[in-house]
Each structure stands twice: as structure tokens, then as C-alpha cells.
Structure 1
Amino acid sequence: MPGRERIRSFLETRLFQRAVVAVIVVNAITIGCETSSYLTDRIGGLLHVVDRIALTVFAVELVARLYAYRGAFFKDPWNWFDTTVVAIALIPASGPASVLRTLRIMRALRLVATVPSMRKVVGALFAALPGMGAIIGLLVLVMYVSGVMATQLFGEIVPEYFAELPTSLFTLFQIMTGEAWPDIAQEVMAEKPWAWVFFVGYILMASYVVLNLFIAVVVNAMDDQNTSAEEQRTEDQLTTVLNELARLHARIDAMQSVPQTAQPVETPHGNTTRRSR
């Protein structure tokens, strides 16, 4: 239908997409401003109006996209995400549902679905999840083995860090993030000087090796995604060229199939002959 096609073309224009991004950014800023009692007391009414306008824009945009794309709308996971965010924002922020008011800031995450570069990064992260599973399993195994060893070796020395296995696992997670691990190591090394071997080995394995594996998997997924996108563009360009060649070939065939007509040609002796064209 012409009306549906016009709406779809309008939704896909760069100007409209930039306008939606601007509304998302402004709405995220206003929601953040509402956390300030100083700003709420002075311009709370204005912030509320801006929030209502932004929600109206999001709802109208969602309805327009649903009308323009119909069944194809539900095939895109990002459309489901946008629908969920807008639906949560439409729930009245009163009574038992008042806790959902804090989820309004999730509208800012719509930037991920709107900005192609962000969407590409998130897509690469999801594509890397299967490869991350094995790395997460390796990390869990390293932490479990190290936690059992630390509990048995250092539990009596520093029970506040290694008294039980859950406590040891939490301490090792803290060490993996690099938070205050020198203080923990020095406290243990005061009783067992060789304990540095355990801490250095664990940090090298958990923080550097496993982290680099995570980065390698994500980068590989992004490369595969870029390669797939490039191959798709090349295939689209080749299809366009082939279609154009087919149209030219059909036009040439049509010109050759036109019946030839004869035109009179005057000879030097005054006689008239007919020449085919």
C-alpha cells in the first residue's frame, strides 16, 4: 500500500533516526536530573512534561513501525526489546508497580538498537557467547581449584579471607579484579613467605590468560560479523550488476527483433532503390 510504503521510507530516513536518538538522549538526561532534589524542586514540572513527551514519541514511533513492517516487525529481536521498554514505561508508577518507575532509565538502552555501530558491537557479543561458555567453564574450574587450595593452605592464617570455600571464592574473585590483593598477600606472606607463588600464579592465570581469551573471542566474533557484512554487500552489488546486465541484454534482444523496413535511396543515375534498415 502506498501509505505504508511512505511511512516505512520516512522511518528509514537518516533525519528521523537522528531525531529519535536526540529524544532518547534528552529523555535519559531528564530522568537523571530527576534524581537531584535541587533540580526536582525547581524544574520538576518541566522534567515531567519532557518525560511524557518522550514517552509519547516512543509509543507513536513503535506503532508506526508496527504498521509499516507488519509481520516483519516481530522478526527483529531489537523490536521486541523496544516494545518491552515502552510497555514498562506505560505502566502506571503507583501502588505495587511503583518500583517499575526506576526501570524508565532503560529507555536509554534504546540507543543500542538505534545506533548501528552499538548494535554491531552487541551483536558481536551475542555471537561470541558460545565461545565464551568454554572460557567461563575454564575460569570456574581455575577458581574452584584455587579456592580449595587457598582454604586448606591459608584458612587458619587469615580466616576472614579463607576460612570456608565460599569465603575463599569471593576473596579470589576480589583478587582477580585487582582490588586490594597486595594487602591480602602480604598478610598471608607474613606467616608463609612462599605464598607469593600461589597469588602470582593465580593472578596470571585468572586475570591475564582468561581475560585475553575473552577479548580474543569477542574480537574474532566482530571480525566474522564484519566479514559476513562485507560478503553480503559484495553479493548485493553483484546481484545488482547481473540484473542490470540482464535488462540490457533484454533491451538489445528487443531492438534486434524489430522488423527491418526499406527506405528509398536515389542512385547516381537517377534510379531509386530501396535500402533496408
Structure 2
Amino acid sequence: ADEQPNGPRWKPEFGGQSHLSHPSGSLPGDWNAGVHAVPREESDSRPKVVSKDFQAILDSLVARHLHEVAEIQAENADLRARFLETKPIKVLRTLKEHVHFPGEDETEKVSDALDTSKVLSRLSKLTNESEKVNEKPELTNFQRLQLFLQSSTFDAIISAVLFTNVMLLGLQLQFEGSRIGYSIAYYPEKVPADRDWPGIQEGLHIADHLFTVIFTADVVLRIACLKCSFWKSPMNWIDTGVVVLTLATVFLDMSSLPIDPIFLRLLRLGKLARAFRMIILSGRLESFGLLLKCVLASVTMLGYATLVLIFVQCVCGMIISTLVSRYLEDPAMDAEGRRHVFQYWGTFTRTFLTMFEVLFANWAPSCRALVDNVSEWFTLIFVAYRCIVGFALLNVVNSVFVSQTLKIADSDEEYLIKLRQKHQDQYRKKLETLFKAADVTNDGFLELDEFMRLLEDEKMHLWLSQLQLEYHDLMELFQMIDSGDGRIDWKEFMEGAGRLKGQAKSMDVFRLETKIDAVMKSLNDKDGSKQRWKRNISLDSS
């Protein structure tokens, strides 16, 4: 009866407390601290001997405990390995391996390398060093001039000068037209234009030469500063050609050569080719750039629409011209009426032009010419033409152009990025206004009572609805945004409102489902482990 089975057993000698003894001499964990046994009776000095059944239960418990300890140790080792592979630990490890600081021992322990103060000081030193490395050297005046000539500011200045030059050309044409009108006695005034506008002709010549000097200096300066890179842009070639053309105009104007004045005027109008420079500026103006892209993308659609309209106009015009030809050839008809009808429908070119007038301009005179002189049945023809072509066909063409414009706008990634950034900036400004209005104490923080005042103000309800935030969930909003200190600052408010903006997205729902699945799996694993442990205990007990 004194012999015990192999494994843990009760020691016969113990001083007031019994403990298990493992064959190896020790047990892991807190088992060496002792397993309390039933104290012996003081009157009985003989060692207690446990029964075989109780000893079997103890052996089963010890074996189960050792197995669980081994599982926990394996799990801890796996978690430790995963922890060492996380991004922060990798960063700190890289900092330790690749950053050397003078005066430090190369065999410094990892715990010292991961010390917070040391890491922060090292990161500060690295930041300062990187700033010194990335610090741009001081630019020379020549380099600053090169950057200025390629900047949007310089393009805007030249564009403004070009616009002023165009206005000057318009004023010059107005003056020359007024002079021609006086020469043919079109105007009732008896004073010539040069007397009505004293000094205008000399002023126009001086302004024209001034703009010539400005544009020439622009091209020469850019060639001297940009050198070979100047010729890489097609717009610069156009500018150079316009300057050469302008200088030739000035030379021919000042010379005594017999040059046609109309030719000189056309040469002056050639300066308008510099307007292509606005295309460069359009890349920096969102709306103007989008307009040019839509116009260029609609060229093909415009060509097809023009062909359809020309075909319809030709067919309808030839039908009307054929119906009117008998009236024009009948000598018995009134001669004045025939001339009136011939003015609109006499030839193919007149008919073609009249059909476009009927479609886009004043269609009543041409229609009245046929209704009053030929037949009133033309009323039905013109009403049907205006309803089918003038209303249905033109609206379809317009809708196609609008659809093409929207398609270009939706496919322009650069424009969409800028538009999204603009909306984010506007949303941020609204949030800042809301935060300042709610912060009564002006301390830069929102307390709970300040936050709850939003519920009592109807204007704040409108603000929250514009920000796509529900005011009746304000308490939950505060609890979700609050980091735990009982108040929220501007950064917490901005980040929280951005996350809670609008309805739940599909990504939010998917993330929530993933977390719920992970929690359910963890609960099922724990429940399965618990059931297996109970089953093993019941089997061991039996």
C-alpha cells in the first residue's frame, strides 16, 4: 500500500502543507509553489496515504496542466514572432542596424536601442540631417529669371498684354471703318473720323510699335535664357513666327515700297496667332482647360452633325426650289412677286442660304414670300420643317454635344482630382466654422456640455445636415470621436466627422462583417476548447 504509481505523488513528510512532486524534481509555473492538501490531524502522527482513485485524478490534472502550459508557450512564441515582424518593430530594428552614432557601443542591447527618448533624439537628428541634405542651394539671378520665364505668372502677364493688343486692333479697325463710312457718305456726320478722334491715328501707330517691342523682347529674352529648351515647345515656334511677321510688317510700313494696304492689314492680323499661347495658360486654369478639352473632343461630333444638317438642308431646299420654279417661269405672274420669290429661292445657293436662315435665323420673311405669292400650302411645309428639323433634330444634336462634354469632364482625372480637393477644402472650412461656433470658451476644445448645445440650436441642425451628419446621434458622435479625455480638439473633430460623414459605405460594411466573423471564430474556438477540456476532465474522472 505504501508503493505509489509513477508520476506525481504525495510526499509523506511535509511541514503543515503538502505539495506535488514530479519525477523530474520540479513543475513548471506555479506548481512548485505547492498544491494545498487537506491538513492532517494533529493527533495523528502517521503519514497520510491517498487512495489510488484520488491519485489518478491528480495525475490527470497535472498531465492536463502540463499540456496546456506547452500549448501556451507555443502560442506565445508564435505571437512573439508575429510581433517582431510588425512595422514599428521593423522600423526600430532598421534604425538600430543602419544608424551609427559616434561614442556608442556597437554591442548595445536592443532594449537600450528601443528606448523612447533615444529613438526620438535619433529621429530628430536624422530629420535635421535630411533637411540639411535636401536644403536647396541659393539660386542665382539668372536661374530665378529662367524659372520666372516658365512660370504661370509670366504666362498670365503675356496673355494680358496679348488681350490688350487684340483690343487695340479692334479699335484700329473701328477707326478705319469710320473713315471709309465718311468717304461713302454713309454717316450723317460731316466731320471726318480723323477730326472726330484727334490724334487717334498717331496713337495707334505708337501703341502698335510698343506692342511689337514687347513681343520681340519676350521672344529674345526667352531664347537667351532658355536656349535649346525654348525650341522644344511648338507654341514658342508660333511666337517666333509672329514676331518675325510683325517686324516685317513694321519694315514694309516704314518703307516706300508699293505694298497693298490690305496685305499689311492681314499681316497685322497675323499677330492674333499668339492667341494659341492661351492654350498653355489653360493648363493652369481648370475651367478654361476643361472648355478647350471639350471643344477639341467635340470636333469629330461637330463634323458628323454638320454633314447631317447640310444633307437635310440640301434635300429640303431642292424640293422647295423645284416647287417654286413653275411660278418663277410663268410670265403671267406679277413681276415684282417673282423678283421677291427669286431673292430667296431663285438659285441653289440662294435656296441653300435661305434654308439655313429658316433653321437658325429669321425664317418669317422667306416663308411669307412663298405663302403670299405662290401658295398657302407652303405653310404646312414650313411648320413641319420647323417642328422636325428645327426642334427635334437640333435638340438631339445639342444633347449629343452636352453628353460628350460631360463624358470628357468625367474622364478627366486631373480635373476630378482638383474638384475633389476643392470639395474637401470647402468641407474642412465648414467643419472649422461649426467647431468655432460650438466652442463657447474659445479654448480650442469642445466639452460635452458645449457639444450638447448643438442640439438646442436649429441653425446647427442645418449645418450638420449640410455636413451629412445627423444631429440626433450627437451623443454617440461625441463618444465615438472622443479619445477618452472627455473633450475633443479640432483634429479629433475633423477626423471623426470625416469618418462619420454620410451613410455607411460598402467598405465600412465589409470591414464590420470581417470583424464580426473574426470575433465569432474566436468565440467558437474558445467554446470548443472549453468543451474539450470539460470532456477530458469527465473522461479522466471516470
TM bracket (short chain): 0.5 to 0.7
Quote how far apart the aligned CAs of 1:147 are. Answer: 1.4
RMSD: 3.6
Q: Give the letter aligned to residue 367 of structure 2.
A: A
1:187 counterpart residue number: 369
CA distance in 2, matches of 1:229, 1:5: 34
User: In 2 relative to 1, CA 43–164 (structure 1 residues): closer, same or farther, beyond 3 Å?
Assistant: closer
Q: Which deviations, in whole Å up to 9, do the C-alpha atoms of 1:176-195 show, x marking residues without a partner?
A: 2323x212212312332221
Q: Determine whether 1:139 maps to 2:334.
A: no
Could you say which structure has the larger radius of gyration?
A: 2
Quote how far apart the aligned CAs of 1:168 are. Answer: 1.6
User: In 2 relative to 1, CA 60–214 (structure 1 residues): closer, same or farther, beyond 3 Å?
Assistant: farther
Q: 2:248 aligns with which of 88, 91, 100?
A: 91
1:178 counterpart residue number: 361
User: In 2 relative to 1, CA 106–34 (structure 1 residues): closer, same or farther, beyond 3 Å?
Assistant: same
Structure 2 contact 222–230 (Cα < 8 Å) conserved: no
2:151 counterpart residue number: 13
Matches for 1:1-277 after TM superposition, within 5 Å: 6-35=144-173, 36=175, 37-38=193-194, 41-66=198-223, 68=226, 70=228, 73-76=231-234, 78-92=235-249, 93-94=252-253, 95-96=258-259, 98-103=261-266, 104-105=268-269, 107=271, 110-111=274-275, 113-114=277-278, 115-116=281-282, 117-118=287-288, 120-157=290-327, 158-179=341-362, 181-190=363-372, 191-231=374-414, 234=417
CA distance in 2, matches of 1:154, 1:85: 51
CA distance in 1, matches of 2:227, 2:412: 23
SS of the equivalent of 1:154 reads: helix
Quote how far apart the aligned CAs of 1:136 are. Answer: 1.3
CA distance in 2, matches of 1:206, 1:30: 42
Structure 1 contact 5–68 (Cα < 8 Å) conserved: no
Quote how far apart the aligned CAs of 1:159 are. Answer: 3.3
CA distance in 2, matches of 1:234, 1:65: 32
User: In 2 relative to 1, CA 233–168 (structure 1 residues): closer, same or farther, beyond 3 Å?
Assistant: closer
Report the count of equivalent residues: 234
User: In 2 relative to 1, CA 32–144 (structure 1 residues): closer, same or farther, beyond 3 Å?
Assistant: closer
Structure 2 contact 409–415 (Cα < 8 Å) conserved: no
CA distance in 2, matches of 1:203, 1:108: 39
User: In 2 relative to 1, CA 223–87 (structure 1 residues): closer, same or farther, beyond 3 Å?
Assistant: farther
Q: Give the letter aligned to residue 68 of structure 1.
A: L
In percent, how many aligned pairs have the same letter? 21
Which of the pair has the greater relative contact order for Cα pairs under 8 Å at 6+ separation?
1
CA distance in 2, matches of 1:44, 1:134: 46
CA distance in 1, matches of 2:397, 2:263: 34
Structure 1 contact 34–47 (Cα < 8 Å) conserved: yes
CA distance in 2, matches of 1:140, 1:132: 12
User: In 2 relative to 1, CA 26–163 (structure 1 residues): closer, same or farther, beyond 3 Å?
Assistant: closer
Quote how far apart the aligned CAs of 1:135 are. Answer: 1.0
Q: Which runs of 5+ in 1 are unaligned?
A: 236-277
User: In 2 relative to 1, CA 85–173 (structure 1 residues): closer, same or farther, beyond 3 Å?
Assistant: farther
User: In 2 relative to 1, CA 54–171 (structure 1 residues): closer, same or farther, beyond 3 Å?
Assistant: same
Question: TM-score, normalized by length of structure 1?
Answer: 0.66
Quote how far apart the aligned CAs of 1:198 are. Answer: 1.8
User: In 2 relative to 1, CA 110–69 (structure 1 residues): closer, same or farther, beyond 3 Å?
Assistant: same
Q: Which deviations, in whole Å up to 9, do the C-alpha atoms of 1:63-89 show, x marking residues without a partner?
A: 44455384575554x445444443432
User: In 2 relative to 1, CA 193–34 (structure 1 residues): closer, same or farther, beyond 3 Å?
Assistant: closer
Quote how far apart the aligned CAs of 1:217 are. Answer: 4.5
Structure 1 contact 7–68 (Cα < 8 Å) conserved: no
User: In 2 relative to 1, CA 184–232 (structure 1 residues): closer, same or farther, beyond 3 Å?
Assistant: closer
Q: Which deviations, in whole Å up to 9, do the C-alpha atoms of 1:1-39 show, x marking residues without a partner?
A: 988854442124344233223322332333333342437
Question: TM-score, normalized by length of structure 2?
Answer: 0.37
CA distance in 1, matches of 2:197, 2:288: 32
Quote how far apart the aligned CAs of 1:167 are. Answer: 2.6
